[in-house]
Amino acid sequence: MNTKSLLAASKLMYEVAISFEEIDELTVKERVAIFNLLSDLSSKIVGFTHPALNVRLVESHLVQDNDYNPNNVAPPEYRLLKHSIRSDGVTMPVVVGELSDDGRYVVIDGAHRTQLIKTESDINASLANYVPVVVLNKTREERMSSSIRHNMARGEHQVELTASLVIKLREMDWSDEKIGSELGMDKDEVLRMQQITGLAEAFRDRSFSKAWE
């Protein structure tokens, strides 16, 4: 960083420090706005593109469930997640995609965290009805594949759910090659996912891999 940039950064930090002296006079909404601005600025300063480096706080009613990834966690795991948040706080932001220009978002990963923040009064109060999120700029189809990748990366791979989502991607004219590339599957795995659904329509006029010969 050159001298000019260093001075500019120092001036900015001084102004921020001064504003913190008056923090008690600010409303929660004003504090959240400052937090979001600082988070965005911080990510720009380091210049890294990883979403985790730009966490935002979004009003909970603006974060909605997606319509392709069923919310079916087992009760024991759900209770454990609730206990974890109450004991350790929210340690991972919810991954969302932006739906429109009016500030609405759809969950890509973290539906259960979002549900707990919305429905458990003590957790909701601790976040003043805000949800910490990171935003991925993706289309609906890309959000679906991102959801699968997040589940698989955590070892929560549900075969039937993944198979169903693969069919949805095929119905959106995604090729097997594109699905495999997005989900980290080879061609045979993509075909097996389609077979599991039992939808003969998915295989009309299609050739199979030699794995079944």
Give DSSP secondary structure letters for 114-147.
Answer: HHHHHH-HHHHHHTTTEEEEEEE---HHHHHHHH
**Tokens describing residue 200:** 């003969």
**Fold assignment, 55-137:** 3.90.1530
Answer whether 166's CB lies under 8 Å from 190's CB.
yes
Q: What integer pLDDT is reported at residue 19 of this predicted model?
A: 62
Q: What integer pLDDT is reported at residue 171 of this predicted model?
A: 77
Q: What integer pLDDT is reported at residue 211 of this predicted model?
A: 47
Q: What integer pLDDT is reported at residue 62 of this predicted model?
A: 96
Q: For residues 38 and 56, give the distance between their C-alpha atoms in angstroms, rounded to a whole number.
A: 10
Q: For residues 151 and 40, give the distance between their C-alpha atoms in angstroms, rounded to a whole number.
A: 27
Q: What integer pLDDT is reported at residue 58 of this predicted model?
A: 97
Taking each continuous run of H as one helix and of E as one strand, the counts in the chain are 9, 5
Q: What integer pLDDT is reported at residue 202 of this predicted model?
A: 46
Q: What integer pLDDT is reported at residue 96 of this predicted model?
A: 96
Other Cβ atoms less than 10 A from the Cβ of 113: the count is 24
Q: What is the pTM of this model?
A: 0.68
Q: Three-state DSSP class for 67?
A: coil
Residues of the chain below pLDDT 70: 1-7, 9-21, 70-74, 152-162, 183, 196-213
Name the residue ranges covered by the structural domains of the chain. Answer: 1-51, 55-137, 140-213
The terminus-to-terminus CA distance of the chain in angstroms comes to 62
